[in-house]
Structure 1
């Protein structure tokens, strides 16, 4: 797969990941943490704010992988 196509697919995947993750994290917080104290909200959003980085790392690593055939590079 050409690097440019892989980067396009990866960029779209990252955007979808961030949007869906934000919607899910906010929905869970709204329904599960409504009556919780402020420090529970802080801890929840601190953890969920950093947790999306793990799947994003795999997508970025896949995007930056070199082509299998060095003759194809331009």
Structure 2
């Protein structure tokens, strides 16, 4: 366990927030144009997948923030 603070945690959190903001804006801007005419249940499925897909790279990113290593 580390005893002194590291720059990776605050910078990593800011980068994560900015990336999620950009991702959300892109989804909110372009996805409704593509799937707007689809049935509601299918739209919900697409938004569910898109809403959870940002979690996939999160484990490696959090590990980097904590240890400085991507692996």
TM-score, structure 2 as length reference:
0.77
Q: Distance in 2 between matches of 1:60 and 1:36?
A: 36
Corresponding residue of 1:14: 16
Task: Name whichever structure is richer in helix by fraction.
Answer: 1
Q: Distance in 1 between matches of 2:68 and 2:36?
A: 46
Higher relative contact order (CA 8 A, sep 6+): 1
Question: Size of the alignment, in residue pairs?
Answer: 66
TM-score, structure 1 as length reference:
0.75
Segments of 4+ moved more than 2 angstroms = 55-58
Larger Rg: 1
Shift of 1:12: 1.0
RMSD: 2.1
Comparing 58-67 and 3-12, the one that deviates more: 58-67
Q: Distance in 1 between matches of 2:13 and 2:33?
A: 30
Unpaired runs of 5+ residues, structure 1, are 68-74
